[in-house]
Amino acid sequence: MGDRFIVEFNNNIYVEHPDRERIQVDAREVYYEELPRGRTREVIVRPDGTRVVTIRNRYGDILRRSRFTPDDREIVLVYVDERDYDRVLEWRDPGEDLPPLRLTIPAEEYILDAEAVQDPDAYYTFLDQPPVERVERTYSIAEVKRSARIRDKVRRIDLDTINFEFGSAEIAESEIADLEGVAQAMEKLLEENPAETFLIEGHTDAVGTAEANLALSDRRAEAVATALSGSFGIPPENLAPQGYGEQYLKVNAEGPQRENRRVAIRRITPLVAPVASAQ
């Protein structure tokens, strides 16, 4: 699927796309180091001296990602205990160990439709809320991306103000401004905690093959992530785009549905950051 890879785990299919190109934009220098047990360290040096250091396991999953400021202060964005990888040789959904989610808050406090937002401050207020249930441990980015049950622990913003044309992942120039409220909320959260991580979910309608829709939805998620970084200055390493194709239709219909061609945002810091998950 072009620069996307469709992989299968336990009868489920996922799309994978290395984030190196997106994170390396405007880098002054990029280099790699081989580490024991098949791991690699990627170091991106920005023009101001900031370094983004990512350690991956042999499968390409992120074990640790940190940003080092020019004065060498480390900000840990993602960390996962490697024993969580060593325990299981094949992917297993950690959500299978959990009971069904029991939502104890109104639906509008769990899912925010951007189209209904009148005060831009509502985005910050919404994203600043804690998970809707206890977080058992720190999860990897891969676990969060692949497990719907784990993602459901945190709230979701549906960016229904961004309208993708059928088969397209392009954001209309006139709609870039519709991301400003969300971007300002992210910026405010990052000022308070530079280690915040936001999952950008891409979705499609049910027209086309599952594989093609996975790739298309992933490009939509990446398009929003790129716009947030390029137009509003959100650091790309704080964004984690992922496509889900037609798996989670907002409108249960087989034909073309604009409402299903959407992107959603979750603040997943409590799931992936050791400090946040301990609070």
Q: At what angle do helices 210-232 and 180-192 cross, to 10 degrees?
A: 70
Which amino acid would we find at residue 89? L
Q: pLDDT tier at 279 (50, 70, 90 boundaries)?
A: very low
**pLDDT for 65 beyond 70:** yes
Please give the average per-residue pLDDT across 49-63, as a whole number.
Answer: 91
Please give the average per-residue pLDDT across 37-44, as a whole number.
Answer: 94
Fold of 81-278: 60s Ribosomal Protein L30; Chain: A; (3.30.1330)
pLDDT digits (tens, 9 = 90+) for 165-194: 998 999 998 899 999 999 999 999 999 999
**pLDDT for 89 beyond 60:** no
Alpha-helix residue ranges (DSSP H) falling in the chain: 20-23, 83-86, 121-127, 141-146, 148-151, 180-192, 210-232, 269-272, 274-278
**pLDDT for 122 beyond 90:** yes
Task: Report whether 60 contacts 48 (CB < 8 A).
Answer: no
pLDDT digits (tens, 9 = 90+) for 193-236: 999 999 999 999 889 899 999 999 999 999 999 999 999 999 99
**pLDDT for 87 beyond 60:** no
Which amino acid would we find at residue 163? N
